[in-house]
């Protein structure tokens, strides 16, 4: 199975999924179970805590499975949320908190009407059950980031090593990282941006969260990636959404 081969190669390199659900109880596939084992067995891990607390991210959304925070996401249109595909597999009920940087209070809780998976990349579009009126995440196009550029990661992921599900950040955090590759691969073999740690790195619970970059084309700040995998120590891989803009636009209209 192609998916298993792609992930097995990543596992040998110490790379694992970033969703808390993939590391705890709900295992939607044999490949996700492999991911869970990879994370649970240890290895070097770190987390976004070495960055800072986000103060302006109105597009951010916290993803819950069965009422427990497990991933991060972004609101890209009134009824559409963008996240990682491995965050929204079959299983527990999925909801989102939007309009709050606090994962436990404020904002609005919304449910799900429809989930559409990309056929070959670790991203999904989620149509929510009510329109929201928060500022939307601006999506970048090809060329919005360069190798060597400093980019930012955002998420509500783990603030400890070990049992990541027990130490999810209540506050949205961010970290600076450096772009090493624009032709890396995500968990499903899709095109990804590979980054290395500057003052933090992604961990469990950051899956589906955004990578932002200041575009060298027009100087604007755009979302260019969705968190897929990380070694919890020095490197992370984010699905390069600039390569999938036609697919996103055909569904969400943005």
pLDDT in tens, 104-113: 999 999 999 9
pLDDT of residue 247: 99
If we measure between CA atoms, which residue out of 188, 236, 239, 250 comes closest to residue 45? 236
pLDDT of residue 36: 29
Q: Of the CATH numbers 2.40.50.140, 2.40.10.10, 1.10.3720.10, 3.40.50.300, which one belongs to the domain with range 138-244?
A: 2.40.10.10
pLDDT of residue 78: 98
Angle between helices 2-12 and 30-40 (to 10 degrees): 10
- What pTM was computed for the model? 0.83
In the chain, CATH 2.40.10.10 covers: 138-244
pLDDT class of 161 with cuts at 50, 70, 90: low
Buried b or exposed e, range 214-250, using 16+ CB within 10 angstroms: bbeeeeeebbbbbbbbbbbbebbbbbbbbbbeebbee
Residues comprising the chain, all counted: 254
């Amino acid at each position: 199975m192609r998916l298993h081969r792609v992930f097995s190669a990543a596992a040998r390199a110490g790379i694992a999924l970033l969703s808390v659900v993939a590391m705890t109880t709900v295992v939607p596939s044999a490949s996700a179970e492999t991911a869970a084992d990879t994370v649970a067995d240890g290895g070097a891990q770190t987390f976004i805590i070495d960055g800072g607390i986000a103060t302006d991210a109105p597009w951010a959304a916290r993803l819950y499975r069965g009422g427990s925070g497990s991933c991060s996401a972004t609101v890209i249109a009134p009824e559409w949320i963008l996240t990682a595909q491995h965050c929204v597999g079959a299983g527990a009920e999925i909801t989102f908190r939007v309009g709050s940087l606090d994962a436990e209070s404020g904002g609005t809780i919304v449910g799900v009407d429809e989930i559409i998976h990309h056929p070959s990349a670790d991203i999904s579009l989620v149509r929510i059950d009510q329109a929201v009126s928060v500022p939307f995440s601006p999506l970048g196009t090809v060329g919005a980031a360069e190798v060597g550029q400093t980019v930012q990661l955002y998420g509500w992921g783990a603030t400890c090593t070990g049992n990541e599900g027990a130490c999810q950040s209540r506050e949205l955090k961010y970290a600076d990282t450096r772009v090493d590759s624009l032709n890396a691969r995500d968990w499903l073999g899709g095109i990804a941006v590979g980054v290395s740690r500057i003052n933090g790195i992604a961990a469990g619970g950051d899956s589906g969260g955004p990578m932002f970059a200041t575009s060298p084309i027009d100087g604007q700040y755009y979302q260019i990636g969705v968190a897929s995998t990380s070694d919890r120590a020095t490197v992370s891989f984010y699905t390069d959404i600039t390569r999938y803009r036609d697919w996103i636009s055909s569904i969400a209209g943005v």
